[in-house]
Structure 1
């Protein structure tokens, strides 16, 4: 099965890097890699030696963290 390229999906849900994530959240990359190792953050999409995440997955993760912290 071959994946098809859909420019609309790419534009609406871009791949982001760790620099974007750390800037967006104010947390360190080391903290995020620990969360990934513990299964508490989405696994990266590996592109060669680079790691990327769908922006929507990171935003969903962040919204869940906010919701969880407000229930506590």
Structure 2
């Protein structure tokens, strides 16, 4: 039986790369409404996603991880409101 050709199989790495978007600090601060110092404080405390090093002292965040963090805050708020009723 001949070996499968590389083109016969989907390249999952390309699919994964296309699905991941990195955002810079200015985008993170605008999305969550916190300053740089607070973001890095939360990272140090393990309460916020760590950035991805890009090289040259540049970093970015995985957009979905930031969106997930925002949704966790919303869910915590909603749970507190439900518990208060």
Instruction: Name the TM-score, length of structure 1 as normaliser.
Output: 0.81
Q: Distance in 2 between matches of 1:30 and 1:39?
A: 14
Pick 1 or 2: higher relative contact order, CA cutoff 8 A, min separation 6: 1
Is the partner of 1:9 in helix, strand or coil?
helix
Which protein shows a greater Rg?
A: 2
1:18 maps onto 2:25 in alignment: yes
Q: Structure 1 residue runs of 4+, over 4 Å off?
A: none
How large is the RMSD of aligned CA atoms in angstroms? 1.7
Q: Could you tell me which residue of structure 1 aligns to residue 58 of structure 2?
A: 50
Measured after TM superposition, the shift of residue 51 of structure 1 is 1.2
Unaligned runs of 5+ in 2: 1-11, 81-85
Match for 2:35 among 1, 13, 28? 28
Q: Distance in 2 between matches of 1:16 and 1:63?
A: 17
Unaligned runs of 5+ in 1: none
Measured after TM superposition, the shift of residue 70 of structure 1 is 1.5
